[in-house]
Amino acid sequence: MASEDVKSESAVSKIVNLAEEAKLAREGVTAPSHAVLSICKSLIAGGVAGGVSRTAVAPLERLKILLQVQNSHNIKYNGTIQGLKHIWRTEGFRGLFKGNGTNCARIVPNSAVKFFSYEQASKGILQLYKQQTGNENAQLTPALRLGAGACAGIIAMSATYPMDMVRGRLTVQTENSPYQYRGIFHALSTVLREEGPRALYKGWLPSVIGVIPYVGLNFAVYESLKDWLIQTKPFGLVQDSELSVTTRLACGAAAGTVGQTVAYPLDVIRRRMQMVGWNNAASVVIGDGRSKTSLEYTGMVDAFRKTVRYEGFGALYKGLVPNSVKVVPSIALAFVTYEVVKDILGVEIRISD
């Protein structure tokens, strides 16, 4: 009886497909290939995953950046709870989400490209691996997943880096800042006019170096944990070779924790380099127009050296606590949302095609 239902559904699906293709042919429109639909599905799922995950933790993301770049001689944000309270008291509810619109405008295409690039890089690397080993049944190892994730991270980050740069500056603005960027396009045009096009890629090098372990480990740990759980089936967490949403959230949380801890110092240096050349950076960061430390760095190594010399090694981990609190649900939500949306889109595509 069940097999008859399956056959019936398959027949209906084929009839719908043929009818749709005939309609498109009459209208002179070429039916999109399954490859194109698959690409669109991956991009949409990745974009939704990025937007949902970042918006959910936007207040912690803003606090992290403020802690990373604030003037060490004028501390306004001293810890996660105190920092969030200070933002709420001085800027209100909207202050908690300042810069989130820019972040979503950046993270949606970034996440879409990242997830899609990871899928394509994984396929390409696996194909090469099978050819080299002569084993058609070979599977991706954690090291190969790390490589695919690193490729995806570099591609996605480079494609959307100017948005990340201006997002950092918009995020650290306060109501008392003497100079205000009015939005994404105003910030982009102002930086181009006053600092030149190269300024949009300030901090790119530490970002590239940092994204390799961060994104690479995220994907490698997440996929490897999933495979291990499916193969070993510990504690009854796996049912019919499928992981529950809760288990996948836990895998994503573990992946995020490992990745962000390894790459965090490079994220701090990136943010500080993004402030270089901004005439009002010091006043924006401390909010009252006074500056007692130089914001000038000649490069990544100089930024590391000055940060450690003037503020100590611990300065490389400023904002780690709110980042740790936000990165676990953020990465977990991103992975799970991506898979759930892909499943939903997969069902819709099969029915409507």
Q: What angle do CA 341, 347, 353 make, to 5 degrees?
A: 120
Q: What does the alpha-carbon distance between residue 23 and residue 177 come to, in Å, rounded to a whole number?
A: 59
DSSP string, 106-158: HHHHHHHHHHHHHHHHHHHHHHHHHHHHT-TT----HHHHHHHHHHHHHHHHH
Q: Does residue 290 surpass a pLDDT of 70?
A: no
| Global model pTM greater than 0.85 | no
Chain centroid, CA 333 distance in Å: 11
- The pLDDT of residue 174 is 66
Q: What is the pLDDT of residues 23-62, one digit of tens each?
A: 444 444 444 565 667 777 777 877 788 788 878 888 888 8
Joined together, the tokens standing for residue 319 give: 């904002």
Q: Does residue 2 surpass a pLDDT of 70?
A: no
Radius of gyration of the chain (CA): 23
- The pLDDT of residue 236 is 66
- The pLDDT of residue 295 is 56
The continuous run of DSSP H or E covering 47 comes out as: helix 34-56
- The pLDDT of residue 273 is 83
- The pLDDT of residue 26 is 46
Q: Does residue 187 surpass a pLDDT of 50?
A: yes
The continuous run of DSSP H or E covering 105 comes out as: helix 100-133
- In the chain, pLDDT over 90 holds for what percent of residues? 1
Calculate mean pLDDT across residues 305-325: 85
